[in-house]
Amino acid sequence: MSSSELKNDRILRAFQRQPVDRTPVWMMRQAGRYLAEYREVRAQAGSFMGLCRSPELAARVTLQPLERYELDAAILFSDILTIPDAMGLGLNFVAGEGPVFEHRVKTAADIDRLPQPSAEKELRYVMDAVAACRKELAGQVPLIGFTGSPWTLATYMIEGGSSKTFAASKSLLFNEPEAAHRLMAKLADTVADYLNGQVEAGAQALMIFDTWGGALDPVRYREFSLAYMRRIVEQLPREREGRRIPVTLFTKGGGQWLEDIADTGCDGVGLDWTTSLTDARRRIGDRVALQGNLDPCMLHANPEVIRREVARCLEEFGHGPGHVFNLGHGIQPETPPENVDAMIRALHELSPAYHDAAATSATS
For residues 298-309, average pLDDT:
98
pLDDT classification of 359: cutoffs 50, 70, 90 = low
Cross-strand partners of 101: 91
Are residues 237 and 193 in contact, defined by beta-carbon separation less than 8 angstroms? Answer: no
Q: Reduced to 3 states, what is the DSSP secondary structure of residue 327?
A: strand
SS3 263: coil
Determine which one of 17, 22, 42, 220 is catalytic: 42
Mean pLDDT of 86-103: 90
- The residue from 79, 85, 210, 272 that is catalytic is 79
What pLDDT is attached to residue 356?
82
pLDDT in tens, 139-149: 999 999 999 99
**What is the structure's pLDDT at 2?**
46
Active site residue 42: yes
Please report which helix (H) or strand (E) contains residue 302, including its range: none
Question: In three state form, how does the secondary structure of 34-91 look?
Answer: CCHHHHHHHHHHCCHHHHHCCHHHHHHHHHHHHHHCCCCCEECCCCCCHHHHHHHHCE
Indicate whether this model's pTM tops 0.75. Answer: yes
Using CB atoms within 10 Å of the CB of residue 178, give its burial: 0 to 12 exposed, 13 to 18 middle, 19+ buried. exposed
pLDDT in tens, 163-207: 999 999 999 999 999 999 999 999 999 999 999 999 999 999 999
Q: Which of 89-103, 195-209, 306-320 has the lowest mean pLDDT?
A: 89-103
DSSP 206-220: EEEEETTGGGS-HHH
pLDDT band at 98 (very low <50, low <70, confident <90, very high): confident
63 CB-near residues (< 8 Å, 6+ apart): 74, 133, 136, 137
Residue 75 β-bridge partners: 144
Q: Give me the architecture of the 3-354 domain, per CATH.
A: Alpha-Beta Barrel (3.20)
343 Cβ contact partners less than 8 Å away, ≥ 6 residues apart: 294, 299, 306, 310
For position 143, what pLDDT does the model report? 98
Q: Exactly one of 10, 29, 60, 307 is catalytic; which is it?
A: 29
Specify the amino acid at residue 250. Answer: F
Length of the chain: 364
DSSP letters spanning 138-180? TTSS-EEEEEE-HHHHHHHHHHSB--SS-HHHHHHHHH-HHHH
29 is catalytic: yes
Catalytic residue from among 69, 156, 194, 221: 156
Tell whether omega for the bond before 326 is within 30 degrees of 0, i.e. cis.
no
